[in-house]
Structure 1
Amino acid sequence: MKFIRRLLEKRADVYDTYWDRYAAAQDVAGVSVTPGSAEGISAVYAAVSAISESVASLPLEIYRRTEDGRDKARSHPLYKLLHTEPNANQTALEFREMLQRHVLLRGNAFAEIRWNAAGRAESLKALHPDSVTVLVTPDDSLVYDVTDRHGHRRRLLSSEVLHLRYHSDDGLMGRSPIQVARDTVGLALAERTHGERMFAQGTKLSGVIQTQPGTTKTQAGEIRESWAAGQAGVGNHGKTAVLPAGAEFKTVSMTLEDAEWIEARRMSVEEVARLFRVPPVLIGDLREANYSNAVELGRYFVTHTLRRHLVMWEQAIGRTLINDPATFYAEHNVEGLLRGDSLKRAQFYQRAIEEGWMMRSEVRRLENLPTIEGIDDEEAPPRPTE
């Protein structure tokens, strides 16, 4: 059946891929903005790491719907792939972190699904987005041409690829924050390059040397070379400059203070945090951090940053990997990230037990404590009167 579908889909047209649009784009602020260069900005790297590491480290469970609610389906074939080992070369954390980084930096992530004879997924192999060409068939479905390291190309059907998209504007291919906000990322790269060159040239001593009339071109060149050898570079910073008789140094470019370079760098961190919807404190900007808002910042991160990515994973798994979505589904456990401090958790559990909507055994399970037989049979202590 798949062979017949491949024959029918030979007429698929190449889609305007994400990487093609990147390559066709012009440089911004005099620098080239690519996933690689953008990741060189510490704020971008920190934001991508904060999201991808959090998503990959959360428990991803497979559940079975029951009449009373749900049960963990640890015997389901997908449980091992998503929770422990998706393929022979990666752990589940490494696999999910890799795909999440692809989503954030390139807008799309791909993994090849290998099915066994029984129609169950037996492995998931991550594919680098640069090696995948997306094609659209006459009936508007997608197929994927994958090029390996030796240049060999093979075609995969949509049922053979787990495709994660971010902020798509056409329903077919995703877009990353770096692609959408190239100007913002380009400005941050230009500011970093500006600082590197300023320090390499001696930070402040940047200008022109005005010589006496009659100075020949050869003499002017010797003066310039002598100045560069004695003043350029961080190693020469602070040395006293000596000019030929009658020569005068005049500053013609802005110093770091004049350009407010440090403040501009701080603004770039805020802009990157805004692009990825990450609280600045999580990417190293501690100006607004304090002990009183640490818990709330964590909740904000889960609710407004991670939730969209977690649902993306869960729905893509249900659509592509689960044969019986009416019975089974995937869901992340975010309870660990939403916990408050010990005192608040104790007060929450105490009230839940006293009001009867949570059992002691459930509390111990949430706190990863061993089971105690008969603990739910004990009478709950009376609630103090106010």
Structure 2
Amino acid sequence: MKLIKRLFEKRAADAYDTYWNRFTAAQDVAGVAVNPKSAEGISAVYAAVAAISESVASLPLDIYRRTEDGREKARTHPLFKLLHSEPNEQQTALEFREMLQRHVLLRGNAYAEIKWNAAGRIDSLKALHPDSVNVLITLDDKLVYEVTDRHGKRRRLLASEVLHLRYHSDDGLMGRTPIEVCRDTVGLALAERTHGERMFAQGTKLSGVIQTQPTTTKEQAAQIRDSWAAGQSGVSNHGKTAVLPAGAEFKTVSMTLEDAEWIEARRMSVEEVARLFRVPPVLIGDLREANYSNAVELGRYFVTHTLRRHLVMWEQAINRALINDPATFYAEHNVEGLLRGDSLKRAQFYGRSISDGWMRRSEVRRLENLPSIEGIDDEEAKAPTT
């Protein structure tokens, strides 16, 4: 306790300004304020974040014990229940992991408070919103997490009391989100959406001119303009019949939305967002390149190039912060559920590798997260029958 007291008595400085300040410090080149809330309002961003966070959260995450002949699930390990079913009294494991993964993608950092008991075991994991966490660094380069609760009360947690997930860190202390790094790309998508909203609010009609007789006065012209705007602008007036004074004529002087390539720009924004989060466009609703033949490969790409980085981030953070004996126990996801569409090819591959002699049955079972079977590699062993 004296050591903890001395640590908190030391002067601490911000490791960084809070992520919120970094987001709101500047606007993008389009003049649009970009922050996690506004960015998530873009359907492509929401879909990309949902695709990753829901997939990560729904994958089985188990604790394994290393054994002489491989490994086995450590179902009695205290972390098994926390990561597999219920990390705290308010959330299920899926809700907890999905929330933290969303924080990683939208804010670059995710935090969870680790509640240790007197026996040195973890009782619960409580998610902390990044808005409420300020990361400090002491004079001896130790991290301290200052947490502000909903009542405005502040408290400090040691690094051993916080599970910290980072995304694309430049210094190993704080993560950065694609939204922050590529603010201009997200801002352009926001500007395009705002442009479309304004066009539709005016009845999807672009501006034009009303040509009147040369004898029309300024006052009469203003009345005609105001009357036209009141009767024709807005979605509620769409389809109404326009009436102009005698001799007046309406002429459109602008291009249509299609001619201005607005729709194409919106499509490009979807592709840009998919590129930022490394998500196949088909997973966020862009089906132009999707077909039955490439569905399996797109799924494999998603697992290998999108999810793998996040899954390893979770596993290594858990092994480092939550497991007391990493030489014996470790956490690992099972991605089999996302690759089931390719099970036939894997079965053919395993069968060929076993028959050619460069893989053993026990190795196949280990790769498939199946329990070991004694004697399965004996020459006389036969595959189990049902």
Output the TM-score relative to the length of structure 1: 0.89
Q: 1:222 to 1:110 in 2, by over 3 A?
A: same
TM-aligned CA deviation for residue 145 of structure 1: 1.0
Who is 2:145 aligned against? 144
Letter in 2 for 1:296: E
Who is 2:13 aligned against? 13
Matched, 1:108 2:143: no
Who is 1:201 aligned against? 202
> Residues 125-204 of structure 1: matches in 2 within 5 Å?
125-204=126-205
* SS in structure 2 at match of 1:202: coil
Contact 1:47–1:278 at 8 Å: present in 2 too? yes
Counterpart-to-counterpart distance in 2, 1:367 and 1:246: 82
> Residues 140-289 of structure 1: matches in 2 within 5 Å?
140-213=141-214, 215-289=216-290
Letter in 2 for 1:184: T
Q: 1:179 to 1:3 in 2, by over 3 A?
A: same
Contact 2:54–2:98 at 8 Å: present in 1 too? yes
Counterpart-to-counterpart distance in 1, 2:372 and 2:304: 31
> Residues 362-373 of structure 1: matches in 2 within 5 Å?
none
Instruction: Give the root-mean-square deviation of aligned CA atoms.
Output: 2.8
- Render the CA deviation track for 1:244-268: whole Å, top value 9, x for unaligned: 2343434344420221111111111
Letter in 2 for 1:237: H
Structure 2: runs of 5 or more not aligned: none
Q: Which sits farther off after the overlay, 114-123 or 359-368?
A: 359-368
Counterpart-to-counterpart distance in 2, 1:360 and 1:102: 39
Contact 2:86–2:93 at 8 Å: present in 1 too? yes
* SS in structure 2 at match of 1:13: strand
Counterpart-to-counterpart distance in 2, 1:70 and 1:379: 21
Output the TM-score relative to the length of structure 2: 0.89
Letter in 1 for 2:159: S
Counterpart-to-counterpart distance in 2, 1:17 and 1:363: 46
Contact 2:70–2:366 at 8 Å: present in 1 too? no
- Render the CA deviation track for 1:96-154: whole Å, top value 9, x for unaligned: 00000000000000101110001111100000001111111112221111111111111
Contact 1:354–1:380 at 8 Å: present in 2 too? no
TM-aligned CA deviation for residue 319 of structure 1: 1.4
Structure 1: runs of 5 or more not aligned: 382-386
TM-aligned CA deviation for residue 350 of structure 1: 4.0
TM-aligned CA deviation for residue 31 of structure 1: 2.3
Counterpart-to-counterpart distance in 2, 1:340 and 1:257: 39
TM-aligned CA deviation for residue 363 of structure 1: 6.4
Q: 1:205 to 1:241 in 2, by over 3 A?
A: farther
Give % identity. Answer: 83
